[in-house]
Amino acid sequence: MRILMVGMFMWLIPAVVAQENPWKERVADAVAGAQGACSEALDVCWRADAWQEAVSLAKRAEPLAKTDAERAAIARAYWRSGRYKDAERVAAMISKDTRDRLALRVLLLIASARDGREATLELARRLESIGLQDATDFALVATVRLAENELKGIADLARQILKHANADNGYPESMLMETAEGLPEFLAGAGERPLNHVVSYGEVPMPPVPMFNLPYVDATINGHGPYRFIVDTGGSVTFSIDREVAEEAGLKKLSGGSIRGVSGTQESAYMVLDDLRIGPIQLQRVMVTAFDFPDMMKGAIGGIIGTGIFHEGRMTMNFAEGRFALRESSAKPGPGVDVDVRIVSDSKLVALCGIGGHEGLALFDTGADAVALSQECLERVAVEQSGYTVSSSVAMGVGDGEGGGAITLNIAADLEIAGRKFEDMGVVGLSVLDDTLGPFIGAQCDLLVGMGIYREMKTLTVDFPRRKMWVDWR
């Protein structure tokens, strides 16, 4: 009976003749106009490095994206905001054989952080095949070549960065003029043989530096020493040493430049160290940055080892036993929790984390004693704070004390890192994460994981060639 009633009801609906809808013919142009406007707005936000506005726009633009270039602009906005999962999801929809310039840039950026050597170099070659056009193109390819020790012609690539860089083009070219300063002369002087080359592997003691509580190893440079060197995962692909130590070891300046730290900027010299020995561990032709250390640091250490110099192997920092090991890269899993790491920029280690119940991006930095949040994160995430702000020029760190930003003290936050929860963790707010580090590495970092977290670990293991990281908690 129910079916019959429904059928009767349908018969009662009057016949309707479909009318021509004049709005239908406007749809294609309207959608295309919206796509074009979104793409243009995303480009403006990118050049202004207005990443917060860009990610908001990317969310609205994503359903409209049809082309590789449109998807690449959206993925780039997500990546810059620290949302690398969203960036990779959108980038996966880009054509595998794309020849679009922006799409290749974004795919190369993602591959260099996540994938192996072959995939990264293939994308770099594809970008070169369509012709490198501006400073961003030259910088991307030079960075990949340097990381993979493909050094033939790299000095000329570095020259092209400076030749094409124009602050009027906005971000990132406004930064490339500073970051590439002295690089062509250094690379020309260093030659084309592999840099940061691991000759032998092994294990050594890694106690904390008195007063600073940062992990260090004893090492010799060109037979001089031993000196204490902090092991810094937040460092770089260079070995940073005090200028006086460089002079003692007879290192020769190949070029000059500048470096940025928590306390501002200062002049530096770029050199190549022929022989670095950390117990049985030996590296040859190590990239060196020499500058004047603060007096307080001079008395305690001779330099800082950026762990990116170990890019050919697997590094384990054992905090429980105070040991450092460098082994050959291996497919065998490391101990503890498998962390979905990305290795970005000059070998920075970043991974997703939880901050007050919100998702964020964490930078792992054994060279920092404090655990810190970005100022943007402090404003966005509700954390318990009754703190006060001071200039970071009062901090002990790299820089001349000018324009170093601000530090906010007396803050507590709930954190989740590599599967471990920390309630009411004492943190500081650090504006350099927003003003300097985020733009430099091209991804907004919300949390700086310093030694206050590492002391809860047994080990941290990083396999650089395989882009893998493990944390084993106490």
Same domain? For 208 and 256 the reply is yes
For 109-161, what is each residue's pLDDT tens digit? 999 999 988 999 999 999 999 999 999 999 999 999 999 999 999 999 999 99
Collapsing DSSP states into helix, strand and coil, what is residue 75?
helix
For 164-216, what is each residue's pLDDT tens digit? 999 999 999 989 988 899 999 999 999 999 999 999 999 999 999 988 899 99
- Which structure tokens are listed for 320? 């429980």
Model pLDDT, residue 13: 53
CB 302 within 8 A of CB 225: yes
pLDDT band at 12 (very low <50, low <70, confident <90, very high): low
Model pLDDT, residue 30: 77
CB 253 within 8 A of CB 327: no
Same domain? For 86 and 204 the reply is no
270 within domain boundaries: yes
d(CA 263, CA 398): 6
Looking at per-residue pLDDT, the higher value among 403 and 39 belongs to: 39
Model pLDDT, residue 373: 94
d(CA 124, CA 143): 10
Model pLDDT, residue 49: 96
Same domain? For 113 and 74 the reply is yes
Same domain? For 262 and 311 the reply is yes
43 has a pLDDT exceeding 60: yes
Can you say whether the dihedral through the CA atoms of 95, 97, 101, 105 is positive or negative? positive
Same domain? For 184 and 68 the reply is yes
Tell me which residue of 182, 138, 130, 179 sits closest to 157, measured CA to CA: 138
24 within domain boundaries: no
Same domain? For 304 and 373 the reply is no
Domain end position, chosen among 275, 308, 328: 328
78 within domain boundaries: yes
Same domain? For 222 and 279 the reply is yes
Over residues 73-102, the mean pLDDT reads: 97
Domain end position, chosen among 160, 190, 220: 190
The CATH number of the domain holding residue 41 is 1.25.40
146 within domain boundaries: yes
CB 324 within 8 A of CB 457: no
pLDDT band at 406 (very low <50, low <70, confident <90, very high): confident
Q: In degrees rounded to 5, what are phi and psi of residue 451?
A: -65, -20
pLDDT band at 7 (very low <50, low <70, confident <90, very high): very low
Model pLDDT, residue 62: 94
Cα–Cα separations (whole angstroms), residue 345 to 118, 355, 416: 18, 23, 24
d(CA 94, CA 100): 10
Same domain? For 371 and 467 the reply is yes
User: Average pLDDT, whole number, for the chain?
Assistant: 90
Q: Tell me the Ramachandran region of residue 196: left when phi exceeds 0, alpha when psi lies from -120 to 50, beta otherwise.
A: left
Portion of the chain with pLDDT greater than 90, in percent: 77
* Range with lowest mean pLDDT among 17-21, 221-225, 319-323: 17-21
Same domain? For 162 and 207 the reply is no
Model pLDDT, residue 295: 86
258 has a pLDDT exceeding 80: no
d(CA 429, CA 391): 11
Q: Which domain holds residue 295?
A: 197-328
8 within domain boundaries: no
The CATH number of the domain holding residue 361 is 2.40.70.10
Domain end position, chosen among 190, 224, 252: 190
CB 203 within 8 A of CB 324: yes
Q: Name the most confidently modeled range: 24-28, 58-62, 259-263.
A: 58-62
Instruction: Give one DSSP letter per residue of 333-379, joined into a string.
Output: PPSSEEE--EEETTTEEEEEEEETTEEEEEEE-TT-SS-EEEHHHHH
Q: In degrees rounded to 5, what are phi and psi of residue 91?
A: -65, -30
Model pLDDT, residue 24: 82
Same domain? For 74 and 94 the reply is yes
Q: In degrees rounded to 5, what are phi and psi of residue 445?
A: -100, 125
18 within domain boundaries: no
378 within domain boundaries: yes
Collapsing DSSP states into helix, strand and coil, what is residue 227?
strand
6 within domain boundaries: no
Same domain? For 298 and 410 the reply is no
Place of tokens 């090991």: 325
* Range with lowest mean pLDDT among 102-116, 254-268, 298-312, 347-361: 254-268
Same domain? For 369 and 395 the reply is yes
Provide the number of structural domains found in the chain: 3
2 has a pLDDT exceeding 60: no
d(CA 325, CA 327): 6
